[in-house]
Amino acid sequence: MDKDLISKKDLLEQTDITYGQLYRWKRKKLIPEDWFIRKSTFTGQETFFPKERILERIGRIKELKDHLSLDELAGALTPKTKDIQITKGDFLGGNIVSSNTISIFEELFGNLDSITFQTGLYLYLLDRALESGEIGWEEGKQILQTLDAHFSKLEDKQASLKVLRKMGVVTVLLLTNVNDFYVDEKTKIAVSLSIDSETNGLMKKLTAGGF
């Protein structure tokens, strides 16, 4: 089984929670519906979860549940990021992304005065892709164009960003609810980023910077 997944049985044992708690948290939208992944096994159909995300989420729920109601928990675990506005200077000063990342964005979309959370996430994803050393300026613009065109379709879905290279040609993909992904031997997966994980990474940086 995919090492990035954890079975429901192992999850309940590892986190010391009950079946009832797990599904009550699901009904309250503390755990996203698409994290419940049904897969065929030799014993029949079983439920699996993205391991890193579900363990982190349940840890947060257990940490906060004695202090907040389930409805309050839902708000705490899904912050209202759409209202965030950060100046370009503060974004750079907080070492959230590099100046090159900002320059690529501004060449494509024009000057940035303030940065919303969604724009900040575009920049953060681009910056993480650039850090791989696998893409350059033009490929970076392709990433931004793809995010700008299709990001609204990813809401409430488990999504990932992939950059493929074959014979010098780059393709940018946004995938939803996909755990296994295969390419032919001549195609290289240059960049592979979980949008959920990178969103959490950006939130941590913003929190650390006092934004």
pLDDT in tens, the chain (211 residues): 466 899 999 999 999 999 999 999 988 888 888 889 988 877 778 899 988 889 988 988 888 887 777 777 766 665 555 557 888 888 888 889 999 999 999 999 999 888 988 899 999 999 999 999 999 999 999 999 999 999 888 876 778 999 999 998 999 999 987 767 889 999 999 999 988 888 878 888 887 766 6
pLDDT at 75: 63
CATH topology of domain 5-77: Multidrug-efflux Transporter Regulator; Chain: A; Domain 2 (1.10.1660)
The full set of domain ranges for the chain reads 5-77, 81-208
Residue pair 208/95 in contact by the 8 Å Cβ criterion:
no
CA-based torsion, 47, 36, 22, 61: positive or negative: positive
Distance between CA 80 and CA 97 in Å, rounded? Answer: 22
Q: Per DSSP, what are the bridge partners of residue 165?
A: 170, 188
Please classify residue 12 by burial: count the beta carbons closer than 10 Å to its beta carbon, then call 0-12 exposed, 13-18 middle and 19+ buried.
middle
Distance between CA 174 and CA 80 in Å, rounded? Answer: 23
Closest by Cα among 171, 161, 107 to 139: 171
Element (DSSP H or E) covering residue 143: helix 137-150
What is the C-alpha end-to-end distance of the chain, expressed in Å? Answer: 40
Residue pair 101/121 in contact by the 8 Å Cβ criterion:
no
Residue pair 151/127 in contact by the 8 Å Cβ criterion:
no
- Length of the chain equals 211
Distance between CA 99 and CA 93 in Å, rounded? Answer: 10
Closest by Cα among 37, 73, 69, 81 to 57: 73
pTM > 0.75: yes or no = no
Distance between CA 174 and CA 181 in Å, rounded? Answer: 12
Q: Residue 18 — φ and ψ, nearest 5°?
A: -95, 165
Number of H helices, E strands in the chain: 9, 8
